[in-house]
Amino acid sequence: MLPTLTGVGRLTADPELSFTQSSKAVARISLAFNSRRKNPQTGEWEDGDVLYIRGTAWERLAENAAETLTRGMEVLVTGDVRTERWEKDGQKHERTSLLIRSIAPNLAYAVANVSKDAASQQNTQSGGQRTARPQQGQTQHSRPTSPPQDDPWAVDQAQGYSNEPPF
């Protein structure tokens, strides 16, 4: 069993979204984790060692990451560390990679307008049935028009509901 990694890193490139032959979304996300510290004597920031790792996200997470994240963003990421192995021109290669389970921008350096994605809204309203994925080369950039009926955070200004949390 390989370890789970949770850390704060930066995207070294925009996520690359593609689709498998079975129409599953996959995003390749290149990350850098470094040990930057403030030197107490000089008061200057110093870069330490850097871990570069290639991450992979699947399905809705892949689509949402590709739509939301860009190069240079600081993110909080959790995933399973893996070793990828392949052979090319008779040479065996391997590298460490990350199967991303969750990823989000660090709100210390970004502002986010969080909303449920269209796929999760349709999944809730259709009783858990999966929705079709776009074919290769197509992108899906839709946002929900109204919140799911069972969403306790939903606000209906016309009916006079408040913006307060439901607790």
Q: pTM for this one? A: 0.64
Question: How confident is the model over 57-69, as pLDDT tens digits?
Answer: 999 999 999 999 9
Please name the residues in contact with 141: beta carbons below 8 A apart, sequence gap of 6 or more. 67
Question: How confident is the model over 129-157, as pLDDT tens digits?
Answer: 444 444 444 444 444 444 455 555 555 54
CATH number assigned to the domain covering 4-109: 2.40.50.140
For residue 159, give the 3-state DSSP assignment.
helix
At residue 164, the pLDDT reads 54
- Torsion angle of C-alpha atoms 22, 77, 142, 119, degrees rounded to 10: 60
Contact predicate 97/54, CB 8 Å: yes
